Amino acid sequence: MRFNTVLVIFLISIEQQVGKTARILSIFGFEGPAQYAFVEALLRGLGERGHYVTSITNFPQNSELPNLRPIVIKENFNLYEKFKQAASRDIDMDHFNRTGEIFTIGFQMSENILGNVMMRNLMKNEKFDLILMNLLFSESLYGLAQHFDAPIVGICTIGSSILLDAIFRNPAPLSYVPSVLMTHRYDENMNFWERCLNVALFVLGNLYYDLEVLPVNREYYKLRFPNSTRSIEEIKRNISLVLLNDHHVISTPKPYLPNMIEVAGLHIPEAFEPLPPHIVAMLNKTGTKGFIYVAMKTHFPDDVMQGILNQFGMLEQLVLWNTIEYPSPLWRIPTNVYFFTNLSHHAILEHPNCKLLVSHGSYFSVIESIHYGLPILGLKSVYFQTGELFYFISKITAGISLKIGPKSLRDNEIYKAALELVENDIYLKKAKMKSFQFRDRQNTPMQTAIYWIEYTLRHRGAPHLRHLGHNLNSWEFNNADVYLFIFLGLMVVFRIFNIFLNFSIKLVKHMCCKQKYKIA
């Protein structure tokens, strides 16, 4: 009877904890406005649930979000542009110098965040129940977990990576899971030499991190958190979970621990602003031919834009170009191309007559094309654009990617690619199939993300989700000591066998010589 009473009291207390609102600190100084759309959607959902969020970014935020207090670190916006350019370059001999540059930018961003006046006031006067943050290149901020006595929930806006696998000790075989740099160049179907390069980059990257980056992080950590009793490594081992902008339909199935949660599509709203009636009427009139949607907020140089417009003018479909900039008066716009500013992006994508999405080929637009079941044409300029995750278009096999340059403009490659995507039903069928697979989930990405954040709050950081691999060092986790022991054991056996064989040969020779001597 007493046990039942205690159990009832315990369950009531848990229920009361579930109903409480939390104070959440969100730190994303490494994302630009496009990547932050993923985080912003989550913060809106948490605000609607009654949680109070303090959000730190490097650009102005939407102050109309419920229960949101924004803090802007303006100094970090230019650093973000440098960070993006350094991270998007190809692998070459200067790779590790650039890696050092990336981590240096990370230190500077962390310094700007922790040195901000409003941030110092938060650390001095306020308490938080949970910290949301990007886990990569921000080790210097891990000390906030002990300072506020709050668990950390990580968010990765570009999907999973080996860097995150290392933090959570997630088993990710290098035979088919590429490193971050390899992903920009190859897909998961790596041949022998690509796998060799993948392993080499992984090993050298870990050595570089342990020998160069981590010591600097430790010194900076001690400087900013002199009274901390927990090391960076200890806090890293106790990070609660991570929300990944990833899904097995987007890339390929990967092994994930229970505290690595896929929530790709989180930025796609369940309800959105409708289109103006005259736009709806115009799109409805396109009939079975449909229309092509160009979702590129910024424009190319005038001569490049004219070349693109000329090729769009060769199509029989209506082309709707949604942008934030008005078209230049110097352009000769074809009669089937219409420019509009700031239309409801998702309302256009959901229209049944939409046949093709044209974009810069970013990761978010690829996810949207999968969600809405549309083929995608990615246009990346060789003139000035960098940093786009362009390779994803070829992975989903329901789209074509082109680099806009002299050749593509001269040979009408944009027109040919758009015509192929619109008229060849195989692209639409693949896109619809992937859309069905992507949407077929027990809960929406928003419901999943909020559930796991509140799960972490209910279970005080959810330490039971962390597996025993965190108790092992790198040698033990990868069984390197076992393999070394087996190798040495085999060497000993081989050596003993070699000694025995040499001894037997000498003995046989000795006996043969002795027998010959007796015969003689």
Q: What CATH number did the domain enclosing 202 receive?
A: 3.40.50.2000
Residue 333 falls inside a structural domain: yes
Residues 240 and 465: beta-carbon distance below 8 Å: yes
Q: Are residues 149 and 282 in the same domain?
A: no
Q: How many angstroms from the chain centroid is the CA of residue 233? A: 22
Which pTM was predicted? 0.86
Per residue of the chain (520 residues), give pLDDT as tens. Answer: 455 555 444 444 444 444 478 999 999 877 777 788 899 999 999 999 999 999 999 888 876 778 899 999 888 877 777 766 666 555 555 555 666 677 778 788 888 899 899 999 999 999 999 999 998 888 889 999 999 999 999 999 887 777 788 889 888 888 887 776 665 555 557 888 888 888 888 888 778 888 888 888 888 888 889 888 898 889 999 999 999 999 988 877 888 999 999 999 999 998 889 999 999 999 999 999 999 999 988 788 888 889 999 999 999 999 999 998 888 888 999 999 999 998 999 999 999 999 999 988 788 888 999 999 999 998 875 444 444 444 455 555 466 666 666 666 777 888 998 999 999 999 999 999 999 999 999 999 999 999 999 999 999 999 999 988 888 887 888 888 899 999 999 999 999 999 988 888 877 877 777 666 655 5
Residue 9 falls inside a structural domain: no
Q: Indicate the residue among 385, 416, 439 that finishes a domain.
A: 439
Residue 5 falls inside a structural domain: no
CB neighbours of 427 closer than 8 A, spacing ≥ 6? 375, 398, 399, 420, 421
Report long-range pairs for 462-468 (Cβ below 8 Å, ≥24 apart).
Answer: 462/151, 462/240, 462/241, 462/259, 463/238, 463/240, 465/240, 465/241, 465/257, 465/258, 465/259, 466/237, 466/238, 466/259, 467/169, 467/257
Residue 128 falls inside a structural domain: yes
Residue 50 falls inside a structural domain: yes
Q: Are residues 489 and 460 in the same domain?
A: no
CA geometry: angle at 129 spanning 126 and 132, to 5°?
100
Q: Are residues 359 and 505 in the same domain?
A: no
Task: Name the token pair of 127.
Answer: 């308490």
| 409 DSSP 8-state letter | H
Residue 10 falls inside a structural domain: no
Q: Which of 79, 83, 36, 84 is nearest to 60 (CA)?
A: 36
Q: Are residues 392 and 419 in the same domain?
A: yes
- List strand residue ranges (DSSP E) for 298-428, in order: 318-323, 337-341, 354-359, 376-381, 399-404
Q: Are residues 114 and 213 in the same domain?
A: yes
Q: Are residues 367 and 451 in the same domain?
A: no
Q: Are residues 183 and 286 in the same domain?
A: no
CB neighbours of 497 closer than 8 A, spacing ≥ 6? none
Place of tokens 């070394």: 484
Q: Are residues 448 and 303 in the same domain?
A: no
Q: Are residues 483 and 465 in the same domain?
A: no
CA distance 283 to 101: 48
Q: Provide the residue range defining the domain that includes 503.
A: 479-517
Q: Are residues 425 and 404 in the same domain?
A: yes
Q: Are residues 414 and 454 in the same domain?
A: no
Q: Which of 231, 255, 209 is nearest to 102 (CA)?
A: 209
Number of domains forming the structure of the chain: 3
Torsion sign across C-alpha atoms 233, 238, 240, 246: positive
Q: Which of 330, 432, 298, 425 is nearest to 374 (CA)?
A: 432
Residue 4 falls inside a structural domain: no
Question: Helical H runs in 373-412?
Answer: 392-396, 406-410
Residue 14 falls inside a structural domain: no
Q: Are residues 156 and 170 in the same domain?
A: yes
Helices 445-458 and 33-48: angle between axes, nearest 10 degrees: 60
Task: Say whether 44 sits in a helix, a strand or coil.
Answer: helix
